[in-house]
Amino acid sequence: MAKVTFLSGETIPLEMHKVRMVQKVNLLPVEDRLDRMQEAGFNTFLLKNRDVFLDMLTDSGVNAMSENQYAAMMQADDSYAGSETYYRLEAVLQDMFGLEHFLPAHQGRACENIIAQTLVKPGSVALMNYHFTTTAAHILRNGGTLEEIIIDEGRSIQSTHPFKGNLDIAKLNEAIARLGRENISFVRIEAGTNLVGGQPVSVENMRAVSQICRTAGIPVVYDASLLADNLYFIKTREAEFADVSLRDITREIASLMDVIYFSARKLGSSRGGGILTSDTKLFAQMRELIPLFEGFLTYGGMSVREMEALTVGLRETLDLDVINQTPIFVEAMCNELIAKGIPVVTPPGGLGCHVDAGAFCDHIPQSKYPSGALASALYIASGVRGMERGTLSEARNKDGTERLADMELVRLAIPKRVYTYSQVKYTADRLAWLFENRHLIGGLAFEEEPSVLRFFFGRLKPVGDWPEKLATQFRKDFGESL
């Protein structure tokens, strides 16, 4: 991606790739979109892809792959044990991160399962900048709890702090003193902190955290799933690294960690996952669990073709032109929305544009899931599928009461190199219409509520007939237009 100045003086993002394979998408009429949303129980996870125009649910496993990734898939060495494909992947990971041992797994949460089973003892506490849904679920499942020690700016939707994902050093020291080192399972640093709007962590902050933890003897676990975005922000926002290569920045980060894991659905634009460490004892403990839950040690549940694509994808992660498209598009979408008065998370992060559903729908109480309602309304208004990232995505407290989210967000993920600038502008336009008509959006209530990760397949119903009213207003305002 490049930012290019046009004759008019306007600076716009210019794609530094060409598209040589395309997929047709459908934009259904608004009445059909209303029906599909009703059938999906007002949960965008339950929509069928054939009914979605722009799928901005996630970037997970849906980033565009390069021609070199596809080519590499053809040379996969398909064997149960000892495949060359595995050794090619291992070599790239060792070169990129500089850690000794690699364990393959079928995706990011599988790594979390292995790490939690190894490090979480009943009653222990994991400290982290912020939880991710599956991370929290695995820690709780193993009898632990977690505490978030993100800096205060990380929890405020609008800010100018360049690294809102940073851990608060005072809170870290206080937690260690209060809990005692022996009761802390690990300190987890999540790159490109997902649930607070794809916000990065600085190297300076990671250095400080690592030093404290190493002195106290607490393992530092790095979730590198969103490393690509985080690298872009280190390069562009942290002065010390402006002229440092992405490989050297990655190496520097890795030298501060005891365990690194990643979802290859995100990092490396493929599918799968992996764990890295130079700690031989931890490695031996985690290795025992791989054949039990994932597969043999040289594939860990991944297909060899995906492993080859990952090997190339990881190398491409160290190319700024490849990894900067998402953050530059996120910034462009955020700026469009800000210009229209629509509240979004600032500064723009990676992963996607995060709309502040709490402010957008300030007439809907958190108990009626404003983020879920806005995500449903956006699909009806545009065919765009976003993801609820608010109270619905939280687990209930043990006593059954709602745990209200710190932030009510709708995430519009920008998978890498999948969408064009005009599609980004279309999404901003339909959101602007929705903002003008936001008083029409009402709340949601659960019809079927799963006890674990309820946001994935829970079904909801609208409070009142607001979806019908919204569709009627759309038809009135847009006439025959889709």
Ligand X SMILES: Cc1ncc(COP(=O)(O)O)c(C=O)c1O
Q: Where on the chain is the footprint of ligand X (CB under 6 A)? A: 60, 107-109, 132, 134, 190, 194, 223, 225-226, 263, 265, 273
User: Which phi-psi region, left, alpha or beta, contains residue 417 (left: φ > 0; alpha: ψ -120 to 50)?
Assistant: left
Using the minimum distance from each CB to ligand X, give the nearer residue, 101 or 138. Answer: 138
129 touches 166 (CB < 8 A): yes
Using the minimum distance from each CB to ligand X, give the nearer residue, 124 or 270. Answer: 270
| 132 in active site | yes
CB of 52 to ligand X, least distance (A): 18
| 455 in active site | yes
Using the minimum distance from each CB to ligand X, give the nearer residue, 194 or 210. Answer: 194
DSSP for 220-252? EEEE-TTHHHHHHHHHHH-GGGTTS-HHHHHHH
CB of 95 to ligand X, least distance (A): 23
Using the minimum distance from each CB to ligand X, give the nearer residue, 88 or 265. Answer: 265
CB of 404 to ligand X, least distance (A): 22
| 223 in active site | yes
CB of 332 to ligand X, least distance (A): 22
Tell me which of 18, 20, 80, 399 is the catalytic residue.
80
Which residues partner with 261 through β-bridges? 223, 275
216: closest CA among 251, 254, 277, 175? Answer: 175
57 touches 419 (CB < 8 A): no
Question: Please, what is the end-to-end C-alpha distance for the chain in angstroms?
Answer: 30
Using the minimum distance from each CB to ligand X, give the nearer residue, 266 or 368. Answer: 266
- Tokens linked to 321: 């032109």
3-state secondary structure of 154: helix
Tell me which of 130, 186, 222, 455 is the catalytic residue.
455
Using the minimum distance from each CB to ligand X, give the nearer residue, 124 or 129. Answer: 129
| 186 in active site | no
| 326 in active site | no
Tell me which of 59, 168, 223, 258 is the catalytic residue.
223
Tell me which of 32, 133, 459, 472 is the catalytic residue.
133
| 133 in active site | yes
406 touches 381 (CB < 8 A): no
3-state secondary structure of 217: coil
The whole-angstrom separation of Cα 220 and Cα 186 is 6
DSSP symbol at 397:
P
Please work out, in degrees rounded to the nearest 5, the angle formed at the alpha carbon of residue 454 by the alpha carbons of 470 and 271: 100
Using the minimum distance from each CB to ligand X, give the nearer residue, 60 or 94. Answer: 60
Tell me which of 188, 266, 411, 416 is the catalytic residue.
266
| Residue that the structure tokens 């980004």 belong to | 424
Closest residue to ligand X: CB criterion: 108
387: closest CA among 195, 230, 223? Answer: 195
| 420 in active site | no
CB of 477 to ligand X, least distance (A): 35
CB of 199 to ligand X, least distance (A): 12
Tell me which of 389, 411, 417, 438 is the catalytic residue.
389
Burial class from Cβ neighbours inside 10 Å (0-12, 13-18, 19+) for residue 141 reads: middle
- Tokens linked to 115: 């790490």
348 touches 334 (CB < 8 A): yes
| Residue that the structure tokens 């506490």 belong to | 125
The whole-angstrom separation of Cα 289 and Cα 280 is 15
CB of 309 to ligand X, least distance (A): 15
Which residues are catalytically annotated?
Answer: 80, 132-133, 223, 266, 389, 455
